[in-house]
A and B are shown apart, each in its own frame.
Chain A
């Protein structure tokens, strides 16, 4: 959990930035991403505060998933620098975990829940080594933490949508990372799963882990998260909930989408009452 010191001789590319610190698990500087000449993210600057739960919020097509994928190098960046604890992703990879969108995979794939969770250990197992019993044990502990202890041998197509989402979360836990990117873990899940995910997020925070989470439900943002990043192709606002999650910022993020705004202002009001 303590940030790694840079190896001697290596210098963070962002060290000159005033607001930047090597303590930050994620630092993004003037990142631009484009698909086929169409820009998706413009000039994004962001420093994630360590040990907090951060929501990424914005309308459809705002580039929320793209932000995560560009940070992880899964889509090419047109420009910009991304650093993790002052290091490039390649050097920090073992400390970063990723939960893709549930729709990203074929759930009819012939593997069991435990097989999927074991994939979270592959980074430390290496190319030619088999998955040992120790790794499988670690993986089943992660399944128990998300409340799926009894379903380890179940084929993944036999799980409900919420259970599938929890399998993904367990795989991320098996990575034992210090920073997590989660792409819509709450999308379309049942109440039991939502509770299980929130519990896990809080447990992670209590250990000093940082979680960056694409989140759709504006109502629960103040309840589940400490920080928020509002994006719509660029960063509209970012900061602690009390500072950045205001109706004015939401208006600027979502434009004139009124139904959403009514929902949002309600959530903001609740956040203000809470603080």
Chain B
């Protein structure tokens, strides 16, 4: 194969990967509105917080974060959402490890982790963020639930 062609192949692969990376960066972490979202069943999630089962939603909104094993961005996301929770009384952050809960992954159609659902005070899914949430997205989301 000629030198030019070989170089062209390598450059094309690098350019393709870079393009993929930019698209991923831009699209990941943004929120998507969910129309006619359903109410989340807290008992089914079986989530514990400080050793006690969570049975109430946040009075303004709830961040429901789905995480898995082998997910480094889940840890960062949990830290950021946890900080937002500690800054106000009406925001709740719950994290569910769905590594061994394929039923939940199927039910909520989770393909990547972290995936964060944003629930209103009745626990109805209002929007959804795939990937590590962008800070601006989170601010907008919290703002949109202003009471």
A and B associate in one complex = no
Interface residues, chain B, with chain A CB atoms under 8 Å away: none
